[in-house]
Amino acid sequence: MQIRQTPEIVSFLEACQKNLRQARINAFLDRKVTRQNEHAIQLQLHRLGVPEFQGPAENWPSLFLSTEVMKKNPYLQAIALPEGTYGDFSLERIILDPGYLFSAEALQKDPERRLNEWLKLRALPEEAETIQLYQKDEPWMLAAPGEFLTNDPPARKAHGRVLTMGLGIGYFVFMAMRNPAVTSITVIEQSPAVNALFETLLRPQFPAVLPLQIIQADARDWFRAEVLQDYDYCYVDLWQSSEDGLDLMEQLLERCCPAPETCDFWIEDSCLEPMRALLVLAFAELLQGSRMTVAPAYEKRMEKVRRWATADPRTISDVSVLQDCLYDNALQRRILAGLF
């Protein structure tokens, strides 16, 4: 790949690099919001350029979720909140405190495609009882709005024979069962304790509306092209957050690189945020004709990005082509898979 040094491209890359350096919206996570200070926090988010708080203030969304997110969630309505311990895993009831901002969805992409990504911050309006899955003393999965709002879209997208990797408290499985386009669900879960906990405490409460098979196995052994071709849709939810998500995604993609149309990864846009940063660095290297320093943890991935850039025969003079690369999840999957 070659990149022409046009004023538009130089300005675009400078804007991207500036946005990468100012992730100030992260400072709002866990901030206490009340009805009295809500508008002041919205104003701060407006000044930071968060897209949903632009335009007339009367059109800005509330920072408080609807109470129906918890009270009318189908999973919480149908499934009792059992407590129990199996091996290192346990289910425990907890109370979610109201008024603390959390990221309600995966990272939101910049509509102007200049890496000014943002978090959809929301808070509960009142306390709510729910269930938390722990491994030893470490929180593993929580039946809370962040889980609902990130797992509901793939459950709606699922169809035909569904393969899912990672069981947890079975939220995706339950919601996919409600999808009339789904004909069967196969779950790969490595932990015998999680499987026993699910089979004993949760599965008896699930509707017997379609075939459900739980297989105790390592997801990496099943994430192969010859396996995935036997299913119509695959959903992978093996990580706790985007911090460990990219590493696990990369391990899977090096084995098999499915298209986004047939396979989704939980909070993929959040996990891929570092890849967009590496692509910008690669563009800057091509423009300047010299290599840039990369943090040691990202050196191997940067080499994958460089191999892709070297293999790409295009000469680019249009900013939109660079933006397409930055926001193409399928391309970033192929780079992580080492297909270049």
pLDDT band at 169 (very low <50, low <70, confident <90, very high): very high
Same domain assignment for residues 288 and 330: yes
**Which of 211, 226, 218 lies closest to 191 in space, CA to CA?**
218
280 and 165: one domain?
Answer: no
**Residue 145 and residue 130 share a domain:** yes
How many distinct structural domains can be found in the chain? 2
- 100 and 182 both lie in a single domain: yes
Distance (Å, rounded) from C-alpha 92 to C-alpha 288? 55
- 23 domain-assigned: no
The answer as to whether 211 is a domain residue is yes
Tens digits of residue pLDDT in 283-319? 999 999 999 889 999 999 999 999 999 999 999 999 9
Report the predicted TM-score, pTM, of the whole model to 2 decimal places: 0.93
Q: Would you say 235 and 264 are in contact if contact means Cβ atoms under 8 Å apart?
A: yes
168: phi > 0 → left, psi -120 to 50 → alpha, else beta; which? left
3-state secondary structure of 129: strand
Residue-range definition of the domain harbouring residue 205: 64-271
Strand extents, DSSP E, 22-159: 84-86, 89-96, 102-103, 121-122, 128-135, 138-142
The tens digit of pLDDT for each residue in 111-121 reads: 999 998 889 99
pLDDT of amino acid 223? 97
Which CATH number does the domain housing residue 107 bear?
Answer: 3.40.50
Q: pLDDT tens digits, residue range 243-277?
A: 899 999 999 999 999 999 999 999 999 999 999 99
| 221 and 303 housed in the same domain | no
- Domain membership of residue 51 (yes or no) is no
Query: For residue 55, with 0-12 CB atoms within 10 Å meaning exposed, 13-18 middle and 19 or more buried, which class applies?
Result: exposed
Mark whether 184 and 305 lie in a shared domain: no
Judge if 131 and 279 occupy the same domain. no
Do 252 and 277 reside in the same domain of the chain?
A: no
Surface-to-core class of residue 31, CB atoms within 10 Å of its CB (0-12 exposed, 13-18 middle, 19+ buried):
middle
Query: Which of these three, 228, 251, 271, is where a domain ends?
Result: 271
Give yes or no: residues 122 and 252 share one domain: yes
